[in-house]
Structure 1
Amino acid sequence: MGVNPSPAARQAEPDRPAPGRIREARANDLCVLIAAREIFAERGFSAPMSAIAERAGVGVGSLYRRYPSKEALAQALRIAAMDQICEIAEECIEQVPAELVFATFLNRYLADSFGPLVSILGGRVADPPEVLAAADRMRDTLQRVVDVARSCGQLPEDYGPTDILLIIIHLRGTLPGDPATVARYTPRLLEPLLTGLRVMASSGRSRDAAPAPQWDEWLAFWSGGQP
């Protein structure tokens, strides 16, 4: 049986936002991140915070209270994009048969992600520890996807997490036109890609065009630096 706190203890407890307010705050934050991704893609990093606030439907003051600088907002966007990849990948690994994990992950990413992984800050500021930690989490999670796909004969042995990033960057790139139309057409590229990878895996062929990309190369691209 639970014990009810005393009036003094209840008074000492910090006020906690109601669940509805928490959901609303998270929804608003997602709107801000999506708006930031769209504005940065359309106008570059020089776009004003006011443009992001207007696109997200929030006040500029509210935006600055949540993100005190444009750099802080951009870093949050990067972390959110990487964490979303981890979330989608983990759900696929846990919820679908092994032979469907790779294709389901790519389809889910194309349908559900709020933006591709591209360099936003362009080397303007150093990556804070939380960004590097998110990148490590993403690498480890994508390695799990790679391991499952290899075990099912869907990826050649020389494909790794960086290859998966290159695939999703190209498939989920920023294209002109109505986003809904772009999202509807992009998956048409996926089936021939998956078929080609399966053929390469079954034949034991490695790629002849270029050496396997390394994780450090992607990190350098992500931060706007040089490999």
Structure 2
Amino acid sequence: MGTPTRRGPGGTERERPRGRQAEAQRNDQLVLEAARAVFAEQGADAPVAAVAERAGVGMGTLYRRYGSKEELLQHLCLMSMSQSIQAAEQALSQETDGWSTVAAFVRRCVAARVGAFSSVAGTIAVTDEMTAASERGRELLDTLVQRGQADGTLRADVVPLDVSYLIEVFARLPRGTAEQDNVVQRQLALALDGLRASGQPRLPGTPPSDRHYQARWYGDTGS
């Protein structure tokens, strides 16, 4: 019997993960989902043991694959950024107005709890892969916002970082029970409606600073 295959991008066939590879991928997904919840609820000081317990895997499983808490967090942050990139690409492929495109992106990110690792900013080294993913994510988010403002459906005073911070806020909200999930969906609908270009007063204050946003991860270079 041949090796199981599945269709990859463009319809090409690729081997389906099996054995230890498939198990490792399942464990990675379990750990990612658990870590998002743990670090959203407990912050950067949350112990790896809490992640392992929520994921239902042993500490040995984690440390056989990752040599340290920092290495684990770097991997999880990169996975989360990759999901955000995928969400943006999916949203941009839709034939909808600009506001709906931004809203679809935000909903996907909130559902995946993208932004839950913001609490670890400044506590781990940023890898080259993380930097590249971050830059790609910013490019896509810029495109999303520009599309919405170009067709007049997204309010003109919104900047991409407003959307990023919005996603982070929702990543921290408790969920898991029917009531908590209901609250998240209602509050998200209200927040997304506030992004519409419908004659609201201008947003208060000044646009968030890219320098401050980046300094959380890389430190303040003073430039």
TM-score, normalised on structure 1?
0.76
Q: CA deviation at 1:79?
A: 1.6
1:26 corresponds to which residue? 25
1:5 corresponds to which residue? none
User: Structure 1 residues 188 and 116, CA, compared in 2 at 3 Å: closer, same or farther?
Assistant: same
Provide, for residues 104-151 of structure 1, a one-character-per-residue CA deviation record: whole Å limited to 9, x for no partner. 22222223x144344343523432222222211110111121122112
**Matches of 2:191 and 2:50, distance apart in 1:** 37
Q: Show the 5 A alignment for 1:1-227.
A: 19-21=17-19, 22-99=21-98, 100-111=100-111, 113-175=112-174, 178-198=176-196, 201-203=197-199, 206-207=202-203, 209-221=204-216, 223=217, 225=219
Q: CA deviation at 1:34?
A: 1.7
**Matches of 2:95 and 2:23, distance apart in 1:** 30
Q: Which of the pair has more CA radius of gyration?
A: 1
**Matches of 1:75 and 1:68, distance apart in 2:** 11
User: Structure 1 residues 117 and 142, CA, compared in 2 at 3 Å: closer, same or farther?
Assistant: farther
Q: CA deviation at 1:204?
A: 8.8
Counterpart contact for 1:116–1:169, Cα < 8 Å: yes
User: Structure 1 residues 137 and 65, CA, compared in 2 at 3 Å: closer, same or farther?
Assistant: same
RMSD of aligned Cα (Å): 2.9
Counterpart contact for 1:81–1:115, Cα < 8 Å: yes
Provide, for residues 129-183 of structure 1, a one-character-per-residue CA deviation record: whole Å limited to 9, x for no partner. 22222211110111121122112323233322211101112233233x6355323
Counterpart contact for 2:91–2:104, Cα < 8 Å: yes
Counterpart contact for 1:32–1:56, Cα < 8 Å: yes
**Matches of 1:179 and 1:134, distance apart in 2:** 32
User: Structure 1 residues 102 and 46, CA, compared in 2 at 3 Å: closer, same or farther?
Assistant: closer
Structure 1 runs of 4+ off > 6 angstroms?
A: none
1:4 corresponds to which residue? none
Provide, for residues 45-100 of structure 1, a one-character-per-residue CA deviation record: whole Å limited to 9, x for no partner. 44443332232222322211221100111112222222211111111111342343
1:149 corresponds to which letter in structure 2?
Answer: G
2:186 corresponds to which letter in structure 1?
Answer: R
Counterpart contact for 1:115–1:172, Cα < 8 Å: yes
2:90 corresponds to which letter in structure 1?
Answer: E
Q: Secondary structure at the match of 1:212?
A: coil
Using the aligned pairs only, state the percent identity: 36
TM-score, normalised on structure 2?
0.77
Counterpart contact for 2:81–2:114, Cα < 8 Å: no
Q: What count of residue pairs does the alignment treat as equivalent?
A: 206
2:7 corresponds to which residue? none
Counterpart contact for 2:114–2:168, Cα < 8 Å: no
Q: CA deviation at 1:102?
A: 1.8
Most deviating of 94-103 and 139-148: 94-103
Counterpart contact for 1:39–1:51, Cα < 8 Å: yes
